[in-house]
Structure 1
């Protein structure tokens, strides 16, 4: 069993998360004091970026990447990954700003990297849970994960989740320039590519908690994009009679 590599960078995309960004970073540093944080702000009208700058000025573990417009979750993470690969970090973590991903679960994700290359925080493995979601949101999520698992032929129970820890090598070797999907389908796309590339992917249970402050970024267009792309990738896999077909 290998050691957990370091240092660690937690990438937190934000858009109108002024009420949440301070508390989530404080909880993160209580759970993993040595972690660095990169806030990727999409020019939030509510001043999230300015608040993040103030937090960064007071704490060298925090930095901020300002983007000029709201361009989607996938684009924000890709910008954060590129920033991470330009520095010394050996582990890169995805985490939402809204509190749905408990920082207290991060030590378990990092520990699982001892024998994995990509660790997914999973709501739908034994021990995982969802709290405070309306029934239709949970069934939509469970149905989307089941459909993705069957269409793509991957043994991942929560492929749409966005709480993840990557070894640096995964981000270096995946062709992230080919990842065009946005929204939650970005998570499917990257995990699928990691499986096809032969990386060791593990799931560990997390408790997902619906945000208490601010508005969800989920929309009908996000769901439609995910359904279309997963269907297309699944059809490509069947037509080529191979599970090892990189999404196009």
Structure 2
């Protein structure tokens, strides 16, 4: 382990070799004191091989390889638990495809001075989306509306992965009660953090369609999000009792 750092930046990857090297460099340029962790799901395109080699060359970079494609939710859980176990003060997650601008990293860190969880929001004033077709914009808006109305999340953007979490709060989570393995994990963890009375903040970001490679979002992920929101709604109505 390298010298202690207060901030960990975590990326979950599957087939991101076209994006990852330049993105890691950009992250390090924005937050040179931070450490970077890549959780890779055994990418067949060489992402894992690149990570293993880069780890040997840079003390601020870490690689957590996994046996196969196990889903974004479980990859994020592994990254967040890594941050807690290694005693980082805060952990930032963002997509590994350049959709989330590294230039916004300092703004998330600054906002964390008065918040437990900071969201890089596409939908708060100043935020936006570039390169999405209308149907995807409608789907995203719908999921966020449902997250606000069904489970009471007080945020404009509940489904984005550009976030900063304080590990002191993450350490209080009962991880076994988080069940979503895919993108629905993004709404689920916010709900659990809300139950811990987290202080939330949002900073505007402009989300851009990935530079290279294929999107991992599909109909199954959208249905999974709807299922998770329904389960959490029922739990909310039952007074936070486990289902």
TM-score grouping bracket, smaller chain normalisation: over 0.9
Structure 1 segment 1-248 matched on structure 2, within 5 A: 7-238=6-237, 240=238, 242=239, 245=240, 248=243
Separation in structure 2 between the aligned mates of residue 44 and residue 128 of structure 1, nearest angstrom:
32
- TM-score relative to the length of structure 2: 0.94
The two structures, once aligned, show a CA RMSD in angstroms of 1.3
Verify the 8 A CA contact 1:10 1:38 in the aligned structure 2: yes
Separation in structure 1 between the aligned mates of residue 241 and residue 195 of structure 2, nearest angstrom:
7
**How far is the alpha carbon of 1:160 from its aligned partner?**
0.7
Separation in structure 2 between the aligned mates of residue 228 and residue 89 of structure 1, nearest angstrom:
33
1:44-75 residue CA offsets vs partner (Å, 9 max, x unmatched): 00110001122222211111001001000011
SS of alignment partner, residue 88 of structure 2 = coil
**How far is the alpha carbon of 1:235 from its aligned partner?**
3.1
SS of alignment partner, residue 121 of structure 1 = strand
Separation in structure 2 between the aligned mates of residue 210 and residue 48 of structure 1, nearest angstrom:
20
Separation in structure 1 between the aligned mates of residue 236 and residue 224 of structure 2, nearest angstrom:
18
- TM-score relative to the length of structure 1: 0.93
Separation in structure 2 between the aligned mates of residue 79 and residue 46 of structure 1, nearest angstrom:
22
**Greater mean alpha carbon deviation, residues 176-185 or residues 119-128:** 176-185
Structure 1 ranges of 4+ moved more than 6 A: none
Unaligned runs of 5+ in 2: none
Verify the 8 A CA contact 1:193 1:247 in the aligned structure 2: no
**Greater mean alpha carbon deviation, residues 102-111 or residues 74-83:** 74-83
Residue matched to 1:3: none
Verify the 8 A CA contact 2:115 2:201 in the aligned structure 1: yes
**How far is the alpha carbon of 1:180 from its aligned partner?**
1.1
**How far is the alpha carbon of 1:247 from its aligned partner?**
6.6
Question: Number of aligned pairs?
Answer: 239
1:94-153 residue CA offsets vs partner (Å, 9 max, x unmatched): 111100111110111111100000111110110111011111111100111001100112
**How far is the alpha carbon of 1:200 from its aligned partner?**
0.5
SS of alignment partner, residue 218 of structure 1 = coil
SS of alignment partner, residue 97 of structure 1 = coil
**How far is the alpha carbon of 1:33 from its aligned partner?**
0.9
Separation in structure 2 between the aligned mates of residue 26 and residue 134 of structure 1, nearest angstrom:
29
1:194-248 residue CA offsets vs partner (Å, 9 max, x unmatched): 112101011111111110200001111111111112023223323x3x5xx2775
